[in-house]
Every structure is written in structure tokens, then in C-alpha cells.
Amino acid sequence: MENLAKRIEAVLFVQGEPITVDRLSKILGGDKTQIRQAADELDKKLIDTALTLVWKGESLQLATRPNFAKEVEALAKEEVSRDLSRAASETLAVVAYRGPMTRGEIDYIRGVNSSYTLRNLLIRGLIERRPNPKDGRTFIYQASIEMLKFLGLGKIEDLPEYAEFTQKLTEFLATPAQAGDKPKEN
């Protein structure tokens, strides 16, 4: 059970978003009861750390404990005040030209894990995240109204060469993935 708890922790850390017990069961093996028990064990082990598990229905996520909000807020303010990094600009362009789309699609286009970058763009209010209507286990990302206002655009289609880039991204996503095309960490 301890090994399963550690494996859950690893998956939650990399995922960076809520994940269902059902999906954890499929990824890690074991039935849903074992996953819930191991998650409870993990939550107990995290009690003296800055991290905790947050449950919403049948989904869970690794999060920072509320008593560290001051530190997290300071980091968020620092990130928001800096210029966008190359990775953030690239991710924002992908989401703007092709969104709404899943993190998996974003990772596939960029060739790297985009969790951290997506989180930063969400904090800045440049993108929005909502449940994926086709798969309740994932989210979709799209450009926000704030991004349009920031760029001085009336609508997303006013982006430079919008139709051309949207078509190219759509064609790229329709291309079957090659073996070994797994995203790298960003």
C-alpha cells in the first residue's frame, strides 16, 4: 500500500491538475478502493509537510496547505509581474490559435510538458480552463477575454494570420504520433 501511495503522489505531482480515482486506477493498477485507501495513507503522510490532498467528488489533486498561502501568493505576484517567458509565449500562442484544447494536445504540439506554463498563464488571467465536455477527466484551455484586451483585439480571429496558423495546427494534431514522441519536462 505504501508503494501505491508513493506512486499516487508521483502521478499527482506531474499531473498538476485534478485526476479521478478511476483514472488513477487505470494508470497505476489496483481497484478504486485500493486507490482511495492509498490516497488516504498519502494524505496522512503529508500532514507535517507543506502539501495536502484536495478532494472534489471522485477527483483529487496535490495542493499547498492554506497556511503557506503567503509564500505562494508572493511567488504568484512575482511571476505575474515578470515578462512572459519564451515557453509561456509559445504556449499562449498555441492556445490562442488552436484552443480550446487539452493539455495533452498542447504538450504534443510543443513537445514538452506544459503544466507549469499553463498554471502561470492561468494565474495571469491570459487563458481559461474549464472541464472538457468530451472527457470529464481532463480540462480544455482557451484564450481569455483578458488576453484579447491585453493585445487590443476585438476577437480571437483578429490575431495575425489566424486562419493559416489554425489550419496548420489542426493538420499537425491530425497527424498520428510517432513512437517516442512523448513530451519532455518543461
Per-residue tens of pLDDT for the chain, all 186 residues:
569 999 999 999 887 778 889 989 998 988 999 999 999 999 999 999 988 888 888 888 888 888 877 777 676 666 555 678 889 989 999 999 998 999 999 999 899 999 889 988 988 889 999 989 998 778 999 999 888 877 777 888 988 899 998 898 888 888 876 544 545 444
Q: At what angle do helices 115-124 and 69-81 cross, to 10 degrees?
A: 80
Q: What is residue 186's predicted lDDT score, i.e. its pLDDT? A: 46
Q: Delineate the domains of the chain, giving CATH numbers in brackets.
A: 2-66 (1.10.10.10), 83-174 (1.10.10.10)
Distance, CA of 58 to CA of 40 (rounded, Å): 13
**DSSP per-residue string spanning 99-156:** -SEEHHHHHHHHTB--HHHHHHHHHHTSEEEEE-TT-TTSEEEEE-HHHHHHHT-SSG
Distance, CA of 127 to CA of 143 (rounded, Å): 4
State how far Cα 35 lies from the chain centre: 22
